[in-house]
Amino acid sequence: MRSIDAPEVPAWLLNNLGCGPNNDALQGDLAESLQRGKSASWYWKQAITSIVVSVFVESRRHPLTVFRALAAGWLIYWPLGWVVFNVVYVLALVSLGLDEPDLLIGSWAPPFSWHTAHFGTTYTCAMNAIASGLLFGIGIVSGWIMAVLFRPHSRVVAVVFSCTVLLSWVVYSAGLGSEAIGARLPWSLYFWMNSVVQSVCILIGGSLAEAKRSTTI
């Protein structure tokens, strides 16, 4: 019988985000079912459902751990973000001869078009790329630290924390007002791209810590 490989993306997600103690056996069962004729879409559905169910179950089994981890996560994420954007980013801007506060990533209200009109497209894109890179770096570092500190529950902690960070971006955008998010699509896309990718970076950070631990063992 010709071996059928599991779709890579759901397999990777399940391998890195699946939280339950039987995650290994579950992956084996899904692979076995694929060989017996189940479709790739069935595999996708099973993988996503399993991840969601395992996160819920593990959170309910260890509520205090998850709560402590969330508190620790925000104590890492927020000050790290503050230091990076009020110290590192400002020093970078000043060293490049630019000290306009409105270009700082914290000020979402002026849209992309305002920035390009004031600083030019190339400069704005470069600054936004640097800011995005810093955001993603913060996500990876936060996720990595949390995964290291809260073993053996690193996966559920990383997933739950990532969800709270994404939720905080949603709440933040609601506070900005509809005009800011409105019809200025390039700026809106940039905002949401940063939010989603940063949340994913937290998961990546957690996975890197797990992978390092596995190779060490």
Partner 1 sequence: MIIHSDSFPGVMLNFLVCLGTAGGLLASTVLLLALKTRQAAKVFVVTLAVHSTCLILIAAGLVLASRTIVKVGDSYCYDSWCAGVTNVTAAPHAQDVVYKVDVRIFSDAGRGKQRARGPMVLIDDRGRRFPMVADALSIPLDSELDPGQAIDTTLTFDVPADAHQLFLMYEEVRSLPFVLRALTGLWLAEIGEKYFSKEPLLRVLSAGGVAFARGLAVLLQSGDDAYGSGISGSCNARIGTRAIADAKTTCRARSSGKSFRPVGKAA
Partner 2 sequence: MATPNAISNFELMVMLALMRLGDEAYGVPVSEQIAEQSGYDVALGSVYAALERLEDRGLVVSSIGDPTPERGGRAKKYFKVTGKGVEVVRDTRQTLTRMWKGLKTPAGERV
CA 146, 152, 158: angle at the middle one, nearest 5?
35
Q: Give min distance, CB of 51 to partner 2, in A.
A: 8
Rule CB under 8 A: choose which of 76, 158, 201, 203 binds partner 1: 76
- Considering the rule CB under 8 A, would residue 150 count as an interface residue with partner 1? yes
Residue 39 site contact among partner 2, partner 1, none (CB < 5 to 8 Å, cut-off depends on kind): none
Task: List the structure tokens of 98.
Answer: 């630019």
Q: Give min distance, CB of 211 to partner 2, in A.
A: 18
Can you tell me whether residue 114 is helix, strand or coil?
helix
- Considering the rule CB under 8 A, would residue 71 count as an interface residue with partner 1? yes
Q: Look at the chain and count its residues.
A: 217
- Quick check: 143 and 155 in contact, CB under 8 A? no
Q: Give min distance, CB of 113 to partner 1, in A.
A: 24
> Cβ of 203: how many Cβ atoms within 10 Å?
22
Residue 35 site contact among partner 1, partner 2, none (CB < 5 to 8 Å, cut-off depends on kind): partner 2
Q: Give min distance, CB of 60 to partner 2, in A.
A: 10
- Considering the rule CB under 8 A, would residue 184 count as an interface residue with partner 1? no
Rule CB under 8 A: choose which of 9, 75, 109, 196 binds partner 1: 75
- Quick check: 205 and 142 in contact, CB under 8 A? yes
- Quick check: 105 and 187 in contact, CB under 8 A? no
- Considering the rule CB under 8 A, would residue 90 count as an interface residue with partner 1? no
- Quick check: 51 and 27 in contact, CB under 8 A? no
Distance CA 157, CA 180 (A): 32
- Quick check: 162 and 16 in contact, CB under 8 A? no
Query: Helix and strand tally (H, E) in the chain?
Result: 10, 0
Q: How many residues bind partner 1 (CB under 8 A)?
A: 11
Residue 25 site contact among partner 1, partner 2, none (CB < 5 to 8 Å, cut-off depends on kind): partner 2
Distance CA 186, CA 74 (A): 29
- Considering the rule CB under 8 A, would residue 152 count as an interface residue with partner 1? no
Residue 120 site contact among partner 2, partner 1, none (CB < 5 to 8 Å, cut-off depends on kind): none
- The residues of the shown chain that bind partner 2, judged by CB under 8 A, are 3, 6, 20-22, 24-33, 35, 45-46, 49-54, 57, 61
Residues that bind partner 1 (CB under 8 A): 68-69, 71-72, 75-76, 79, 83, 145, 149-150
